[in-house]
A and B are shown apart, each in its own frame.
Chain A
Amino acid sequence: MPEHNRRYNLMELMVTVAARQLENGKTAVIGTGMPLAAAMLAQKTRAPHLITLFEAGSVAPQLVKLPLSVADSFTQTGALMHQTMNEIMEACQRGVVDYTFLGGAQIDCYGNLNSTFIGGDWRKPKVRLPGSGGANDLASLCWRTLVIMPHDRKHFVSKLDFVTTPGYLTGPDAREAAGLPPGTGPYRVIGTLALMGFDPESKRMRVEALHPGVTPEDVVADTGFEMQFADPLPVSEEPTDEELAILRNEIDPERRIIGRS
C-alpha cells in the first residue's frame, strides 16, 4: 500500500474488493462486521439482486444501515421472511446457499480459521475469543467461503492455535475424508495486500491479484506460510469515487468499520 495514497484507506480497499466478489442472483449468509459492509456495497453497486441471509433468521432483507449484530433490527428491515437460525443453517446444509462471508483471527495456507483462542492452551487461554459462532457451520455447508482479514503475520500464520472452522483442513480431499459435503470450501480471501484464492490441485492459498502498489515481496514478508502466486498476476482495481461515497455516506457513516484503518 503506497504511503502517498490519500483517496482511500486499507479498510475501504478491502471492503470494495470484497464486494466485487459477490454475484447477482446468488444466496449468501453474511457474517458480522466487514463482510456485512461488503455485502451492502455489492447490493448498492454491481449486485443489487444478491440475496442476503442472516444466520439469526432474516431472509433477503432490504439493508438500509450497517447492522451491529447479525440479528438486530437492521438485518430485518424489508425482509421477505423472518425465519429461525436452524432454518437458515438447514438451508445451508441442503445446498441452497452459494456463499458465506466470514472474518477470523487467524488463517492458515489451507484457509482454516481460528476464532477460539490465541496463546496459552484451550483450558487456560491467553486470549479467549468467541469461538465458532456460525462460522464452522457456514464454512462446512455453504458452497463457497469468502474470508476477509487484515494481512500480516499475526493473522496469516503457519499453524493455527486452534482449528475453529474448516478450510481445506490438511489438503486435497481432507474435507471429504472428514465427512464434509463434497464441492465446498474456501474460495477467496480478501486482505489488506492482495486478493487470494486457492490452487485447485494443492488447495493451498495463492495470490490472485495484488492491491495497487503492493509487491509479491511485501506479501511474502507479511505471510507466516509459503504463499503461492498466480501467473499472470493482475493488480486489484482501486475503489471508485462512487463506491467510496456509498461506503462512507450510506453504509458506514459512523466509521465503525472503515474507520479502523
Chain B
Amino acid sequence: MEIERTEPASIDPVGELFSSPDVDAARAFFAAKPRTLTSKLMTVAEAVDRFIHDGDYLASGGFGGVRIATAVLHEVVRRRRTHLGFAGHTATHDFQILAAGRCFDRCDAAYIVGLELRGLSPCARRYMESGEVRVAEWSNATLGWRFKAAAMGVPFLPVRTLLGTGTFEKSAAKRIRCPFTGLTLAAVPALFPDVGIIHVHRADIYGNAQVDGIGIADWDLARASKRLILTTERIVSTGEIRAEPSKTLVPYWLVDAVCHVPYGSFPGNMPYEYYSDEAHLAEWMEAGKTQAALDRFLDKYIHGPREFAEYLELAGGEKRLAELREMEPLRR
C-alpha cells in the first residue's frame, strides 16, 4: 500500500549540537577503556582532578534534587572548572550549584532553573538571563533518548515528540520520514557526555554499583558517558553485589572513579535513606537573590570546607541528618 503524506511546513531546527553523535569515535574510545579489575576508590577531589577538565561536557545523574552527586558538583565549583557543557536533564539543585559557580557555558536544556514545587532558583535564573550561556532546547524524554541512542551505539533515535513546537525549532533534532510507514518523526542525536556523575546506594571498590528505587535516566546515562564518576553511600564487598545482581546499575568496567560519600545526595533526597533538606534548599534560594549574598554563601559552604563531611557539619551535622533519615518514607 502506498502511503502518501505531505511534509509539514514548519521551520528546521536551529539549535546548536554541543557534542558529536559520532558512534565510531565513541566505539574507539570505549574499545580503549581498560577493563582491568583494579580499585578505583579515591577522594572526590582526586576524581574531579583526574576526570573533569575545563571544556568537558558533563551529565549529572538522578533527578535534580533526588539522588544527585552533590559532592562532585561542589568540587567542580571549588576547583573553578569553567567552559563545561552541561546536560540540563531534570536538572534542579545540581543545575543551581553549577550555575552559582558559572561552571558551564553551553547547555542542553530539558528542565533547568526551576526546583519544581520550590520555585525558580534566583542564581540560576540570573546566569541564564545574562546571555552568557549557549542553549539548545530539549525535553526530558528526548534528552533521555539521546543518552539511550548513545548507550545503544546508534547515532540517533526516531521519536514522536518535539514536533511542531518552538522547543523543536530551538533543538538540534531533525525532521525525518520513516522509510517504512511514511510517518514524520524527530531524529534525536546520540549524546555521549565526556563525564557522567552518579550517586548510588552501594558500590564495591572496583565500581560495581547498585541503586534502589526508580532509575530515572541513569541506566542510559552511565552507558553513554565516556568517563563515569560514582559517589556512593556505602562501600560493600563484591559478594554483596553478586547476591542481588538485578539491582546492579553498572558493572565495574564502565566506571572510572568510586568515591565513598555518605549523605552524598544532601541536601537532595536519597530514596530509602534520607529526605531532602527543604530548609537548606530554601537557604540556597534565598542566598542566590544577590551576587554578594551568593558569594558569602559559596565561601561558607563550598569554598571553605576541605571536604564534603565538613559541609554536612556546617549544614546541621548529625542532628539534622538524623531528622532527614526520620522523614524518609521508604527507610527500612
A58 to B329, CA, bound (A): 15
Is B116 touching A136 in the complex (CB atoms < 8 A)? Answer: no
Query: Is the Cβ of B215 less than 8 Å from the Cβ of A83?
Result: yes
Find residues 124-149 in chain B having any chain A CB closer than 8 Å to their own CB.
Answer: 125, 128-131, 135, 137-142, 144-145, 148
Residue of B nearest to A133 (CB): B111
User: Is A86 within 8 A of B145, CB to CB?
Assistant: yes
Assuming A140-B161, A177-B8, is B213 touching A131 (CB within 8 A)? no
| CA A165 to CA B140, docked complex, whole Å | 12
Q: Does A216 contact B (CB under 8 A)?
A: no
Contact between B269 and A177, CB atoms less than 8 A apart: no
User: Which residues 174-214 of B have a CB within 8 angstroms of A?
Assistant: 175, 183-186, 213-214
Contact B129 A89 (CB under 8 A): no
Q: Which residues of A contact B21 (CB under 8 A)?
A: none
Partner among A33, A85, A141 whose Cβ is within 8 Å of the Cβ of B144: A85
Q: Are A76 and B214 in contact (CB under 8 A)?
A: yes
Contact between chains at A76 and B330 (CB < 8 Å):
yes
Task: Choose from B164, B184, B275, B278 the contact partner of A166 (Cβ within 8 Å).
Answer: B164
Interfacial chain B residues near A140, Cβ < 8 Å: 160-163
Chain A residues 133 to 154 lying within 8 A of chain B, measured CB to CB, are 133-137, 140-141
Interface segment among B63-71, B232-240, B253-261, B304-312: the answer is B63-71
Interface contact A133-B184, CB-CB below 8 Å = no
- The answer to whether A179 has its CB under 8 Å from any CB of chain B is yes
Q: Mark A227-246, 1 if CB is under 8 A from B, else 0.
A: 00000000000000000000
Q: With a CB–CB cut-off of 8 A, which chain A residues contact B131?
A: 123-124
**Which residues of chain A come closer than 8 Å to B166, judged between CB atoms?**
116, 122, 160, 162-164
Asked if A89 and B214 sit within 8 Å, CB to CB, the answer is: no
User: In the complex, which residue of chain A has the Cβ closest to the Cβ of B134?
Assistant: A123
* Contact between B160 and A127, CB atoms less than 8 A apart: no
Which of these, A57, A128, A181, contacts B160 with CB under 8 Å? Answer: A181
Tell me which residues across on chain B come within 8 A of A125, comparing CB atoms.
Answer: 128-129
B109 in contact (CB, < 8 A) = yes
Taking each of B10, B131, B213, which has the highest tally of chain A beta carbons within 10 Å of its own beta carbon?
Answer: B213
- Minimum CB distance partner of A161 in chain B: B166
Chain B residue with Cβ nearest A137 = B141
**Which chain B residue lies CB-closest to A162?**
B166
Q: In whole angstroms, how far apart are the Cα atoms of A92 and B214 in the complex?
A: 17
B205-245 interface with A by 8 A CB criterion: 213-220
In the complex, what's the smallest C-beta–C-beta distance from B243 to chain A, in angstroms?
Answer: 19
Least Cβ–Cβ distance between A119 and chain B, in angstroms: 10
Instruction: List, in ascending order, chain B residues with CB within 8 A of A141's CB.
Output: 160-161
Contact A56 B330 (CB under 8 A): no
Contacts of A124 in B (CB 8 A): 129-131
Q: Which residues of chain B are within 8 angstroms of A180 by Cβ–Cβ distance?
A: 160, 163-164
User: Which A residues lie within 8 Å of B186 (CB)?
Assistant: 179
B110 proximity list for chain A (CB < 8 A): 131-133
Supply 13 A–B pairs (Cβ within 8 Å), ascending by A. Answer: A69-B269, A69-B276, A73-B213, A73-B328, A74-B329, A76-B213, A86-B219, A126-B129, A130-B112, A132-B167, A137-B161, A169-B165, A179-B175
Having A71-B90, A180-B164, one finds 6 other A-B pairs with CB under 8 Å, namely: A69-B63, A82-B215, A84-B214, A86-B141, A126-B129, A128-B113
Which B residues contact A (CB, under 8 angstroms)? 6, 8-10, 62-67, 88, 90, 92, 109-114, 116-118, 120, 125, 128-131, 135, 137-142, 144-145, 148, 159-167, 170, 175, 183-186, 213-220, 269, 271-272, 275-276, 278, 328-330
